[in-house]
Amino acid sequence: MSTVFDVLAEPARRRILDLLRERPRPVGELTERLGFSQPGTSKHLRVLRDAGLVRVRKQAQRRVYELDPAPLAELDAWLAPYRQLWSDAHDLLGHHLDQMEELDDR
C-alpha cells in the first residue's frame, strides 16, 4: 500500500487535490481542467481514493469526488519540525537584518 508521501509525489495528483480543495467535482470536470484523458484521470483518482485522500459519491449518472483531508495529518506531523526549523531561521535572519540596519544608522 502506498503512503501519503508516495501518492503526493505525483504532480498530477497534487493538482487534483488542489482542484478538490476548492469544491467537490465530477470526473468529467476534473478531466477537462487537467487536460488528461478520462482513463488517466480515473487512474489518479483511484490512487487518491485508495490512499483515503478523496471520497466518491454517485450523483445520478456522475461520480463526484471530494477531498478527505484526514490522511494529510501524517504529512502535517512530519512537516511540523521543519516548520519550526524554518521559523527559527527566519527569526535569525530578521535579527541579523535588524542589527545591520542599526550599524547603518550609526
What's the pLDDT tens digit per position in 29-77? 999 999 999 999 999 999 999 999 999 999 888 999 999 988 888 888 8
Q: What is the mean pLDDT of the chain?
A: 89
Highest CATH level, class, for 4-67: mainly alpha
- DSSP letter string, 38-68: HHHHHHHHHHHHHTTSEEEEEETTEEEEEE-
Each domain of the chain, given as residue ranges in start order, spans 4-67, 70-105
pLDDT > 70? residue 1 = no
Per-residue pLDDT at 35: 94
Angstrom distance (rounded) from CA 84 to CA 76:
12
